Amino acid sequence: MTTPAATPRTELPWHTVLLRGLVCRCPSCGRGRTLRGYLRVAETCAVCHARFGHLRPDDAAAWLTISIVGALVFPGLLIAEMGWHPPVPVTIGVALAGSAALVLALLPPAKGLILAVLWRLDDGHGGGAASQ
């Protein structure tokens, strides 16, 4: 069995790159993983050898995750408070547990998405599209 070659990033449609990133797969071949473990970025794809180690997602994934969780939890709290009037300790407990669960569930896909976007915009020299 031969190893698939990495598809040139400009030939891949954006929707393919974004979907592969959401499932933490290599944006180039769709088979390899972009993350080792929970959040550590893999240096290269094990299948097509596309490079990810030089990409710096930094805090973008955390920002995206917190924005999504806040947009989901806050309206839920308002609806619950207006409709059922739960006791404050119950509201706090449910909000904290729900927020923590959502953050832990959404952080890897958010980081995969950010890595896929950075990979697609990268010019191969580590400077990104803006460096040209």
- Side-chain-facing half-sphere of 91: CA atoms under 13 Å: 15
Q: What is the pTM of this model?
A: 0.85
The pLDDT of residue 23 is 97
With a cut of 50, which residues of the chain have pLDDT below it?
Answer: 1, 128-132
- Count the neighbouring beta carbons within 10 Å of the beta carbon of residue 20: 24
The pLDDT of residue 130 is 46
Q: Is the Cβ–Cβ distance between 28 and 8 less than 8 Å?
A: no
